[in-house]
Structure 1
């Protein structure tokens, strides 16, 4: 029976492995003109536009495709007549357009679009609207050509006049490379509405685009991290792109079709749209009323490739009624840049908890502590040896944690060792009182008391370390600092360390295999309190199950687990060499009472 169960377990593992690696995967589309990697000033090929919520030209009409793909906003093509104005500092190149008087896109000078290529990553390169463009506002939106009033190295001003005579001026100021109260990725925005007439205007709602986020084009499928988010009343909320897609639910429960948009109520302290590493965050001086989340189709027709879809966000704000000869203004600060926790946690430049955009989840405090520690160690390592500095930062952070938790892990290991030693005696108790569970429990507890063993002593110390492991688990894969950072053979710590493709389809990832090897060695070195044969075999399979689950994890997370395992192996070797005081076996007596044999005194 045991051999049969083992065979079934192996077959299930192989089936899971095959399901992961032989099932269809989304593939990044080929670069298109005006795409993420387009050169500065290059715009997409002019073409027809569609309004949000409609399908793109050439949409398929099949019922299945329509269910999955009809509810999206199409990419808008930029006017060939638009003039692009560029403001730049050492960190970004912000490209503004007079088509809507808004921010067309932002190039990140410190972050390349692709590994080993110098072209910068461009946020909002493919988009439904330019950032901070008015949406669906005739005369003000992306189809309206504004007049560029002035331009300096750090400022650009646009102006237009509506048919009603209302004057609209849009001013953008780029932050310097350094400043106590600003960040170089921030842009100050001011839109002023002036009423030159003799009659007051009514208050009107307007909608501002926050940009469109696309999945970074690398070998990992990061479309799952495309989200919009907002902060209201001190709480942060996140809306993944999948919420807009058709879903069959769980066993039919919660099933729904595609949604054209999701509207979230305010007041919103800040609102954002983001992918795995970058975000556009708008913080208005006055709270916005609501956030509108939409799915964007980058292709000319519905597609089953997840990379063909992005996510966009819009905020709705109210322009107050304007008295004659008076004016009203919408003002705020826009951040378009990397999701660097240390940067966003600077309370002088970011005063509204914008660092919560990191979305570390339940273990966010542990993630923040670990990322802060890792960043500090990285700064120290750069001064010593810039080569592989982030990789060594992960190694040293892991070792630091292991050293801090040595007392707890020693207690857990010693407890496991003592539990393993008394297994024969526990088995005697089980056999003797197999028909009387109450007496069996009483005798077991007496044995623990006699041998001074805490039955949960091996669990509690491990539970203390779990939040830090989960903190690493949620922090490492989405830390922008690790993007394209090499270590040993791995070219990118934020992705898998694939060194070859076996049989043309199976990636060979080294670090997860090393991690699994340490788990197997730990399994053989750590005393097991169980004597159940089936349970022992299942425990032996656990490292291989973990390898399968962790095989596509980022190299950074696998590196942490590998170093953690190496340290644990060394620690266990030391513990196994430690000698415990010898005790004579305890025998369970009548009524479950344990009688301890006393070693006779030595003869003189």
Structure 2
């Protein structure tokens, strides 16, 4: 009986335990919403894994994938071959690391990157920037040098992503750096650099060996060279004004991209492309011209208070051609100062990079001012050399100043007679003009005689305006309070920025503005006194009066950010001109003698030349026609 009871109790216990388990399982099972969320999560995980696998299958191999696999990593090696084909060999070499090769000469310190085989750092050893820091044309990834090409197994590769094997050898005194992108022990694409002692020019060759079955000649092979130019000067806006892309094409012609926010051009038969900064240049030259070139310049300085690192971004796309299934392009690199004498010494037309002016202006700079300043600065301090050169220029131009002043004196003497003619023939403009012309002819005077000397001075004025900002020798040369004659001088730093003026006060532009005000007061006052007012014409006297004040003000604002050497020139030039004019007025020109001479000339019969006779006849015919029309009326 006890046994039966135990059995019944056991059965009841098992039933209760089973019931509890069933209840727990029932209460713990997910709701329909939870089941749906779990299913969705599983599906998303499956899709993510599928996408990752697809990306791994299709993506361009990253630099990490190109690193040399270990001998046991056969799967990675096979993956590299799947991505790079024959060029996977380059990633199996010990050089397949993101390391650098360093060489230098007396003027350049160069660093070559194994990844991409290009110049990843270029330092000019002899120069520093406005912060006294070394000049780097290339550093910290501001450049990109890449060849984009197709392969015979339908891949598109970029050399910037591939590893080159470096070797350094000697060729006499020259240092040769060879960077080889290898498809096998004797198959490679090579960048060959040859660095000469104490030279800014580097021989550069792109050639291939045994790559005819690797490089697809039916696809375009493009050499791309990009550079963001570093700021090197105190005023980034002033430096940026002289930073531009210059190129030579069509057998010696040269051109440049403008200063707009974005400029581009496509040219054929291009010999060199120069990324010119204000005082330094990076130039790629070809022995045989590139068939075409796509060139782009982009301005990076929109706000000089914010954009303080780079001035412009340049980009060139240059085609390379296979010959016999191989590449063989001989070129040169120039990395150095934008110095006329240094550039012209290479006899490669590189002096055209310098903005010396076109036509006669460039001729004056090349053959007059550059040799003169080079001679003077050879034994004089640079500021004194500018002053001496200014004195010489003004002395040479003093005969022109003299003729201009004599012409103004004659016109001043004739003004009463011209006023009388105007009154006498105020109702007959044609007759009035005839009388005035006859007076000028007899007196030997002309209103144009005062303008022509001024026009003759314009080429000299403009040539010097182009010369001083381009004079590399003035860079970082101090004079008086100016720390750098190639940049603006500062006597006061302002706590705010004045539009078109800047955040500082320069003294040389102030002195130049005062001098030009005095000069214009003297010359314009003389012209106003001598220039008769013509009926129906604008009041020139009033316009000249305004210009006396407007011109110095414009110079004050415009030159506040310009090179102090240029402002020094204009200050000294106007001072000397004022002195010359005072000497001419007080010691050379005698207005009474000029007046007596004019009266004598008026008594003499004046022989007219052919042009004067023709003009006289035309005016007489016009007068007769007018009278005939009046009679008909």
Flag whether TM exceeds 0.5 (same fold).
yes
How far, CA to CA, are the matches of 1:518 and 1:454 in structure 2? Answer: 28
More displaced stretch, 204-213 vs 417-426: 204-213
Answer whether contact 2:187 2:211 (CA < 8 A) is retained: yes
Larger helix share, 1 or 2? 2
Asked if 1:231 is matched to 2:248, the reply is yes
Asked if 1:244 is matched to 2:240, the reply is no
Pairing of 1:56-455 with structure 2 (within 5 A): 82-115=98-131, 117=132, 119-125=133-139, 127-130=141-144, 132-134=145-147, 139-152=157-170, 154-162=175-183, 166-177=187-198, 184-195=199-210, 202=217, 204-209=220-225, 211-221=227-237, 222-233=239-250, 234-240=252-258, 242-244=260-262, 262-294=264-296, 305=307, 310-323=312-325, 327-346=326-345, 349-351=346-348, 353-363=349-359, 365-367=360-362, 369-370=364-365, 373-381=368-376, 383-385=378-380, 389-455=381-447
1:200–1:164 CA distance, 2 compared to 1 (3 A): farther
Instruction: Measure how far apart 1:399 and its partner are.
Output: 2.2
How far, CA to CA, are the matches of 1:206 and 1:163 in structure 2? Answer: 23
Gaps of 5+ in 1: 1-47, 50-78, 178-183, 246-261, 588-593, 597-604
Structure with more relative contact order (C-alpha pairs < 8 Å, separation 6 or more)? 1
How far, CA to CA, are the matches of 1:522 and 1:84 in structure 2? Answer: 61
Instruction: Measure how far apart 1:163 and its partner are.
Output: 8.6
Answer whether contact 2:474 2:484 (CA < 8 A) is retained: yes
Pairing of 1:527-538 with structure 2 (within 5 A): 527-528=526-527, 529-530=530-531, 533-538=541-546
Instruction: Measure how far apart 1:523 and its partner are.
Output: 2.5
Cα deviation, 1:522-545, whole Å, max 9, x if unaligned, reads 123332223655234223223333
Match of 1:539 among 547, 559, 564: 547
Asked if 1:573 is matched to 2:579, the reply is no
Matched residue, 1:3? none
Answer whether contact 1:228 1:274 (CA < 8 A) is retained: yes
SS in 2 for 1:108: strand
Answer whether contact 2:261 2:299 (CA < 8 A) is retained: no
1:408–1:381 CA distance, 2 compared to 1 (3 A): closer
Matched residue, 1:478? 470
Answer whether contact 2:413 2:595 (CA < 8 A) is retained: no
1:84–1:576 CA distance, 2 compared to 1 (3 A): same
Instruction: Measure how far apart 1:415 and its partner are.
Output: 1.0
How far, CA to CA, are the matches of 1:496 and 1:200 in structure 2? Answer: 53
How far, CA to CA, are the matches of 2:158 and 2:249 in structure 1? Answer: 28
How far, CA to CA, are the matches of 2:164 and 2:187 in structure 1? Answer: 14
How far, CA to CA, are the matches of 2:161 and 2:266 in structure 1? Answer: 27
Cα deviation, 1:280-333, whole Å, max 9, x if unaligned, reads 11111121133333467989xxx973755621232412231435xxx4311111
Q: Please tell me the root mean square deviation across aligned C-alpha atoms, in Å.
A: 3.4
Answer whether contact 1:200 1:321 (CA < 8 A) is retained: no
Answer whether contact 2:189 2:211 (CA < 8 A) is retained: no
How far, CA to CA, are the matches of 1:200 and 1:503 in structure 2? Answer: 60
How far, CA to CA, are the matches of 2:177 and 2:214 in structure 1? Answer: 30
TM-score by length of 1: 0.71
How far, CA to CA, are the matches of 2:127 and 2:597 in structure 1? Answer: 65
Match of 1:519 among 516, 519, 540: 516
Answer whether contact 1:373 1:397 (CA < 8 A) is retained: no
Answer whether contact 1:447 1:586 (CA < 8 A) is retained: no
1:156–1:298 CA distance, 2 compared to 1 (3 A): farther
SS in 2 for 1:561: helix
Instruction: Measure how far apart 1:421 and its partner are.
Output: 2.5
SS in 2 for 1:176: coil
Answer whether contact 1:139 1:162 (CA < 8 A) is retained: no
Cα deviation, 1:472-510, whole Å, max 9, x if unaligned, reads 112322333322221221111122112112454442111
Q: What is the count of residue pairs matched by the alignment?
A: 477
Instruction: Measure how far apart 1:595 and its partner are.
Output: 7.7
1:123–1:197 CA distance, 2 compared to 1 (3 A): closer
How far, CA to CA, are the matches of 1:458 and 1:536 in structure 2? Answer: 15
Asked if 1:487 is matched to 2:487, the reply is no
Cα deviation, 1:109-129, whole Å, max 9, x if unaligned, reads 2221225x2x32111235553
Answer whether contact 1:112 1:120 (CA < 8 A) is retained: yes
How far, CA to CA, are the matches of 1:321 and 1:585 in structure 2? Answer: 81
Gaps of 5+ in 2: 1-61, 64-94, 151-155, 498-502, 533-538, 605-633
More displaced stretch, 227-236 vs 576-585: 576-585
1:495–1:208 CA distance, 2 compared to 1 (3 A): same
Matched residue, 1:600? none
How far, CA to CA, are the matches of 2:309 and 2:215 in structure 1? Answer: 48
Cα deviation, 1:155-198, whole Å, max 9, x if unaligned, reads 21111124999511221011222xxxxxx110100121112667
TM-score by length of 2: 0.68
